[in-house]
Structure 1
Amino acid sequence: MNYEDLNCTMNGSVLVIELNRPAKRNAMRLSLREELIDALTTAEQNDDVTGIVVTGAGDKAFSAGADLSELQQRTVESEMSRTAELRRRLPALTETLAKPVVAAVNGACLGAGLEFALACTVRVASTTAKFGMPEVLLGVIPGSGGTQRLTRTVGLGWSLHLTLEGKPIDAQQAYRIGLVTGLSAPEDLLSDAVALAETMGGQPRMAFLTARDAINRSLDLDLNAGIDLERKLFALCLSTGEPQQLAAAMLERLSTKTTGNGNTADPVLQSG
């Protein structure tokens, strides 16, 4: 499908979605969010797609935030409307998608752009990227889940620092505080992100979904409730029959290997 604000291309089994408003530093307007929802939903339903990478067009920005011309038109009434719910629906869809979504942050990732990136499965960045929540400088606060997802990602202290100061941090600092999990040279960022999406997307589907959901839910549950959820999700994985088949295949491979002294290698326990 052709989009006005997105470029979509396949790289092997990975769909690369490029936010394509470079003249506006890939600002998030309503139509771009609508197109992202459509592209992500379509990719989820396409069996040829195993993973997704989202990045920004040009070398200046992943997304510099909300479109300011739209922000000028917002009112109390419009903010409580169904249209405004779209801004919450996009990240909610992204973080629950049945396939991994890797944010390849190639430049400025600010405000609404960071709120979207926080909903992706993981974030990797160019060494030239910058991250920030500048909404307070405009007299508002993050409005698409930023106060909640940022805190869950980097902790209370850094969430307060970034949100209340309003100034961006560089990619190295973002890596140190866990906002991103990998740094790449600008010319390597996309290929590194595609490789990561390909690896995650190649995992057994039920294992990917249950592991991701157990980790995300861990922030909302006490320890015992979280462990109970983990136990039930582990059992759900077993119900597919795939773990038993994979364990049998691994045992078969191990049985053909020998240790240095000629003895058959002992099977290694691979799960909890």
Structure 2
Amino acid sequence: MTTDLSDLSLPRVVARLRAAGCVFAEDEADLLLAAAGTPAELATMVVRRVAGEPLEQVLGWAEFCGLRVAVDPGVFVPRRRTELMAHEAIALLRGAVGPVPVVVDLCCGSGAVGAAVAAAVGRIELYATDIDPAAVRCARRNLAAAGAVVVEGDLDDPLPAALRGRVDVLVANVPYVPTGAIATLPPEARLHEPRVALDGGPDGLDVLRRVATLAPGWLAPGGHLLVETSERQASLAVEAFARSGLVPRVVRSDELGALVVVGTRPAS
């Protein structure tokens, strides 16, 4: 069937988005029209969105903690629920005294969490890693203003050894969807985001357990590990933190529908 793109007025864009199943078609249409520089560009963006590409990848940005974070095609889109992890990291760092705090963002994706922390806290020594090269390229753009070191590799593999025992806050937005549940995800995620950013293994906690095991070697005494997970997985995540010698606590936000496990390395 041929798609008529000769009239891309606001009502026509809304109609096309609504027909494609976009729940917030009016809001999305406003954003697309504001972002498009030319009618041809708008037509391309509408086609991409109607085909199921995430709105944030079509626009090239996502809003996160009040920031506009660049999101390239194929890069994991930062979720609003992950703002809870950023808020908790910010609160922990604002209460710190002493030298410039060291922050590490594992599984950084677009770098949204690190960017939010840097914007709120000010001067930090920031390192970010991701195994996906497209995410690393995107994160380098988003974290350039913070002077961050962004490196490609599996979890902590590419971190400089000199950071061991010096990290004040380590955040990790690990994949935590069980492998068997990947097929049930919305097509936007399943088809347009990297599987490595979604698939957490049989019970969704494979990467979380790895991070809980490696984190104490990087954390300073009294330092903190923050990981997002689901309500169903929370008790197992807490057990993994405790087995690694971290003192765990759970932070929830009903507003964001989010849960973060915070593990603190004992100060002594």
* Category of TM-score, reference length = shorter chain: under 0.3
- TM-score using structure 2 length: 0.26
Report which of the two structures shows the higher radius of gyration computed on alpha carbons: 1
- TM-score using structure 1 length: 0.26
Bigger strand fraction: 2
Bigger helix fraction: 1
